Amino acid sequence: MNAEIIGIGSELLLGQIANTDAQFLSQQLSLLGIDVYWHTTVGDNRLRILEALHQASRRSDIIITTGGLGPTLDDISKETVTEFLKLDLIIHKPSLTRIEDYFRSLGRTMTENNAKQALFPREAIVLQNDNGTAPGMIIERDNKIYIVLPGPPAELQPMFINYVSPYLAGISGDGIFSKVLRVFGIGESAVEELIKDLLLKQGNPTIAPLAGAGEVKLRITAKASTLQEAASLIQPVQTEIETRLGNAIYGYDEDSMEDVVLNMLRVKGLRLALAESCTGGRISDLITNVPGASDVFLESCTTYSNEAKIARLGVSPGTLRKYGAVSIQTAREMAEGIRKTSGADIGCAVTGIAGPGGATDQKPVGLVFMAISDSKGTEVKEFRLGGDRLRIKQGSAMRLLNWLRLFLLERAAE
């Protein structure tokens, strides 16, 4: 079976928002073994929506529309789909009750235009919206399946997972199952060289390198009738890649670097504190995005000025005068200072030049020093990063977390 996704909304065409719905739906449909051959985007215009539906119905088995289910006059997706299918709309009483209850729970009175969100063809399978007022629907017509979904991702995604995916799973046959290996510290081209022979001889499963956000993801995908069968196809390939890439693989599937590091600290019973300069608190922001981070994360100090480095971390004024804020020596004293003053088991520090100003011939933009300190001593590393200010900040944060991960692995092996 093949599918087409029609994103409806003038805001998509104007570039005011990105079409993340299409990305999500394509990923989910691939897991169900349904091929997506076309993405179409059309504005809030009845004639153009009808034209897109005519075209999709000629070439696709499943047509999914997103957006245009709100209460206002320009929300015309459901009405246009039902016009195309020559169906009549009537009030779906369970949906109307849910919408009324939703407004009542907020202490508000439902306006008359919201009632149109409860209009559906008698032939439709109505999809409950657990996160908003706009239900979706599924209509089977002329050997085609039409699925109409709301636009906001917070509404569309749970609706698809909870209601649409089980429906499609019953009709799609074989599924596509994936395992993602997350790699950091090795570039995409280097990763490809290490597994080039596996890429050349792949069949089922397939291997797809995906680069982005400073890391490489290797997605191993198998087509099979059951998850168990897919796992048996994926595992030998996964094991071979793990053997070749070693500790460069930091996690799997939805793991983040900060998740992995915090779990390692938790397992080892270690507490962490940070001293940040050029990253401006970016590392602590990543860490505190993880629920339960307070189990192991004590504090972070953004000591941006020399005065703060001296007063809060105990960095020597002489060190700053002689070597500067961006130096091996200052990074060392920052890490040791935050560890001692916080009482943490591990203190980490980062100081560098994020640019675009502040550089010299000896200390260019992108020069970053990082340090990790524990009871056994302090290690310092120099990094050279490229890109603009924000990329340098993000890259520094990720490199510090990855080095801390490797540091913890080494300590465990001692």
Q: Are residues 343 and 357 in the same domain?
A: yes
Chain-centroid distance of CA 386 in Å reads 23
Q: Are residues 161 and 225 in the same domain?
A: no
Position 87 scores a pLDDT of 97
Q: Are residues 165 and 265 in the same domain?
A: no
Position 226 scores a pLDDT of 83
Q: Are residues 225 and 351 in the same domain?
A: no
How many Å from the N-terminal Cα to the C-terminal Cα in the chain?
Answer: 54
Residues of the chain with pLDDT under 50: none
Position 225 scores a pLDDT of 82
Q: How many domains does the chain have?
A: 3
Token pair 């290490």: residue: 194
Q: What are phi and psi of 120, to 5 degrees?
A: -145, 155
Position 172 scores a pLDDT of 65
Q: Are residues 243 and 273 in the same domain?
A: no
User: How far, in Å, CA of 366 to CA of 357, rounded?
Assistant: 11
Q: What is the pTM of this model?
A: 0.76
Position 229 scores a pLDDT of 92
Position 169 scores a pLDDT of 82
Q: Are residues 405 and 287 in the same domain?
A: yes
Q: Which domain CATH number covers 317? A: 3.90.950.20
What's the domain range around 149? 2-169
Distances (CA, A) of 409 to 32, 197, 266, 345: 37, 29, 13, 15
Q: What's the pLDDT tens digit per position in 211-241?
A: 887 899 999 988 888 889 999 999 999 999 9
Which residue, of 137, 154, 169, is where some domain finishes?
A: 169
Q: Which domain CATH number covers 54? A: 3.40.980.10
Q: Which domain CATH number covers 246? A: 3.30.70.2860
Which residue, of 230, 252, 274, is where some domain finishes?
A: 252
Tokens of 9: 């909304």
User: How far, in Å, CA of 397 to CA of 355, rounded?
Assistant: 16
Q: What's the pLDDT tens digit per position in 57-93?
A: 999 999 999 999 999 989 999 999 999 999 999 999 9
Chain-centroid distance of CA 267 in Å reads 25
Q: CB-based contacts of 263: which residues, under 8 Å, 6+ apart?
A: none
Which residue, of 252, 276, 309, is where some domain finishes?
A: 252
Q: Are residues 162 and 182 in the same domain?
A: no
Q: Are residues 196 and 288 in the same domain?
A: no
Q: Is 26 left (phi over 0), alpha (psi -120 to 50) or beta?
A: alpha
Q: Are residues 347 and 295 in the same domain?
A: yes
Position 178 scores a pLDDT of 86
Q: Are residues 223 and 308 in the same domain?
A: no
Q: Are residues 14 and 42 in the same domain?
A: yes
User: How far, in Å, CA of 33 to CA of 38, rounded?
Assistant: 15
Q: Are residues 32 and 83 in the same domain?
A: yes
User: How far, in Å, CA of 12 to CA of 10, rounded?
Assistant: 5
